[in-house]
Amino acid sequence: MASKKEIKKDINFVFEGLIEAVYIKQLAVKTIDEKRAESLIDSIIGSFDSIMAKVNERGVENANVHFKAIRNEFDQSVSNLLDEINK
């Protein structure tokens, strides 16, 4: 299992990429208006905060199960956010 530090870096990298994609679609491609961009970024930050809170939980009984659940939530969250960005 990767260290918490590496997991946090990976999560941060992906969510930064999602925010960057929103800005690119808003400023360069102009397919997203400002209000929708703000809403998407708020959703991305909310998902990031939720997942990071779970990563930082202490005293988890079964770490492997805990981090697999986080990974599944992370994958689902990123997939949903990408679908929203690409609408």
Report d(CA 35, CA 47) in Å as an integer: 18
pLDDT given for residue 33 in this prediction: 87
pLDDT given for residue 54 in this prediction: 94
pLDDT given for residue 1 in this prediction: 58
pLDDT given for residue 30 in this prediction: 83
Query: Using an 8 Å Cβ cutoff, are 21 and 81 in contact?
Result: no
Q: Could you read off the pLDDT of 40-67 as tens digits, one per residue?
A: 999 999 999 999 999 999 988 998 899 9
As given in the structure block, the two tokens for residue 74 are 């992370």
32: pLDDT strictly greater than 80: yes
31: pLDDT strictly greater than 70: yes
Q: How far is CA 70 from CA 3, 57, 85, in A?
A: 14, 11, 22
pLDDT given for residue 16 in this prediction: 97
